[in-house]
A and B are shown apart, each in its own frame.
Chain A
Amino acid sequence: MQLNTDDINRFIGRFSLGRDSNPLNVTGSPHFLRIKIPGGLLDTKQFRRIAELARGYSRGQAEITNRQDIQLHWIDAKDALDIFSIMDEMGFTTDMCGQGFSGARYGDARNIVCCPVSGIDRNELLNGAALLKKLSDFFIGNPDFQDMPRKFKFSISGCGCDCTRAVINDLAFVAVKKNEEIGYTLLAGGGIGASLPGPQLAKPIYVFIKPEDAFTTAVAIIEIHRDYSSRESKSKARFKWLLHTWGLKKFLNTLEEKVGKRPEKYEGAAFIKNGEHEGVQSQKQKGYDYINVPLIGGTFTSDEMISLANLADEYGNGKLRLTPTQNLIIPYVEKKDTLLRRLEENGFQMRGSKLRWTSMGCASDFCGKTKTPHAKDLTKKIVDGLEKQFNIKWLNEAEFRIYISGCPNNCCANLIAEIGLAGKLAKVNGDPKQTYTLLLGGGFGTKLSLGRRVEVDVPAEKISSRIKSLLMNYFKEKEASETLREFCNRCTQEDLKHFLTLPGD
């Protein structure tokens, strides 16, 4: 019997809902909708329509993910076709995420992360937006890339900083200068989830790719993942395992066979400076600034989204950019002081430490896997507290970020933050309570390090005082111009444990 399902089938392969509410169901959200926003680039008209979707279907709330998507929760399957129709009109799709298939199957190319100031950064080496668009257009709905062994994550950065967190991507295009020529070098095999071979920072593969060859190279590499990564075991199905088992030589030989030439060598640094485009910065376009609005955790209400869209129309060029640090950039601003004042009047706190722009919390406020305090709430509480307790200049000079994941899935990549918190439920008198493992000394940019686990099962209510204590000791004991990361990595495990506890705590 043939059933007419064309109205449903037209969305298959481009739209999906992910799974929420597992296992605690504390939020009651059955599904989430992860709207792919390639490179975080969208206009105010699209942003308003997403705000209306949030108002209609997601209790008026939305969040920016750390891959520049917008995620809505409390989505009911019965509303899916209506929502997908609206998104289709806007030109958006979703990741094929959160399904939990047991085997190594149905992996897709995730939203491509790109430097959020591509094309406007005054010191940019290369604008990655063209490559971003070509790759996104190629992968969206492409049936050849919807059943890979597992998902595949790309990033593109052209500004010289690791603002995209390239090191946790399967494949990162990083703009570099070789002699006088600008092109991309590649980092590959990143991924800090638990799948084998365990957390890995993407490694340089020492190649130089001309911009005109970047698309072909990217497709060849994802084809290598699709055709050669393990389909036998889900835990071995990420690209990082293939690179780990093959080694660089075999990988480069296979790439050469596919593209028909050996890439040029590049042995210089991938990143030449640190930064995540915080605050207000002047653009390469004379007379214009961009304003990065810090959202700590990336959440906003429909009303806040509408007010941001209105301000971007009034003071910018009607475009917005979502950052990989869960913030929002209004570009092409001529009257920055007026806009800053208007943002403050609309409830957006524009002053504070860099932590306000660089710290992140995972989706646990919505997904139902954790108990309170959830990651975003805790991140905000900690940042607010530190700004009250310490001099802002000192906090900035300490050069650290706080990443909080509510559960062991590590969605927020807490291993690569100077202060990382990995949540876990622990039973206290029979009831599950939210606790966190404290990791210290991770970081990325021009120098890389993975965080060290210093203390486990810290009750959530004690986290703020642990961090306050660490910073008090850091400011007291640090060497001149020593960052928090350098300090943590110089100290012994015992020292750090001692520094985390205030007298009488």
Chain B
Amino acid sequence: MTNIQRISEKRYSLDVRGQVCPYPELLVLRALQSLSSNDILEIVLDNPPSVRDIPASLAKRGYQEINVSLISKGTWKIIVPIAKRQ
């Protein structure tokens, strides 16, 4: 089981620090499937290849306005808004 933390109304956080490829990407895709339209997922991660791969993988799947920021040395946050699902 993996825990997705609810931060506020329609905003969730997934912490994949310490996970190596391909797990951050796989866990993020699984988390996004479980959320609803207009939810926002914040991903906290420390694995550089996943910082490269996750935004590209999500963009291929139609996710837009993905924001990547370095929040401390060696740790990043990726914010993914979920558009209205078809």
Contact = CB atoms under 8 A, between A and B. Distances in A.
Interface residues of A, number: 29
A189 B41 CA distance: 44
Contact of B23 (A6, A12, A31, A147): A12
A6 B21 contact: no
Given A8-B30, A31-B21, A3 B1 contact: yes
A77 B26 CA distance: 8
Interface in B12-61: 12, 18-23, 25-27, 30-31, 34, 46-49, 52-53, 57
B21 A77 contact: yes
A5 B29 CA distance: 11
A5 B53 CA distance: 20
A2 interface: yes
A105 to B, nearest CB: 8
A46 B2 CA distance: 33
B74 interface: yes
B21 A18 contact: yes
Contact of B6 (A1, A8, A12, A147): A1
B4 interface: yes
A81 B23 CA distance: 10
Nearest to B60: A78
Interface string A94-105: 001011111101
B1 A4 contact: yes
A77 B34 contact: no
Contacts of A3: 1-4, 27, 30-31, 34
Contact of B21 (A2, A16, A103, A147): A16
B73 to A, nearest CB: 6
A30 interface: yes
A75 to B, nearest CB: 9
A100 B49 contact: yes
B27 A19 contact: no
A99 B21 contact: yes
B1 A101 contact: no
Contact of A101 (B3, B4, B74): B74
A96 B20 contact: yes
B22 A106 contact: no
A106 B4 contact: no
Contact of A102 (B6, B48, B57): B48
Contact of A99 (B12, B25, B31, B47): B47
Given A8-B27, A101-B47, A2 B1 contact: yes
B27 A30 contact: no
A9 interface: yes
A17 interface: yes
B42 to A, nearest CB: 14
A390 B59 CA distance: 56
A99 B3 contact: no
Interface residues of B, number: 28
Nearest to B46: A101
Interface in A98-138: 98-103, 105-106
Nearest to A83: B22
Contacts of A98: 21, 49
A98 B21 CA distance: 9
Given A5-B27, A8-B26, A101-B74, A106 B20 contact: yes
A99 B2 contact: no
A1 B21 contact: no
Contacts of B48: 19, 99-102
A98 B20 CA distance: 9
Nearest to B57: A77
Nearest to A84: B22
Contacts of B34: 1, 3
Contacts of A80: 22, 26
A435 B12 CA distance: 49
Given A81-B26, A99-B49, A101-B74, A19 B2 contact: no
A12 B22 CA distance: 10
A4 B20 CA distance: 19
Contacts of B5: 1
A36 to B, nearest CB: 14
A5 B30 contact: yes
B48 to A, nearest CB: 4
Nearest to B35: A1
A422 to B, nearest CB: 24
Interface in A1-30: 1-6, 8-9, 11-12, 16-19, 30
Contacts of B1: 2-6, 9
Given A3-B3, A5-B1, A106-B18, 18 more contacts: A1-B4, A3-B2, A3-B31, A4-B1, A8-B26, A8-B30, A16-B23, A17-B20, A17-B21, A18-B21, A19-B49, A77-B26, A77-B57, A80-B22, A81-B26, A98-B49, A100-B49, A103-B46
21 contacts: A2-B1, A2-B3, A2-B4, A3-B27, A5-B26, A11-B23, A12-B19, A17-B21, A19-B21, A19-B49, A19-B52, A30-B53, A31-B22, A31-B49, A77-B21, A77-B25, A77-B26, A80-B22, A100-B47, A101-B47, A106-B20
Closest 10 CB pairs of A and B: A102-B74, A77-B22, A19-B49, A80-B22, A5-B2, A17-B21, A16-B20, A1-B4, A100-B48, A3-B2
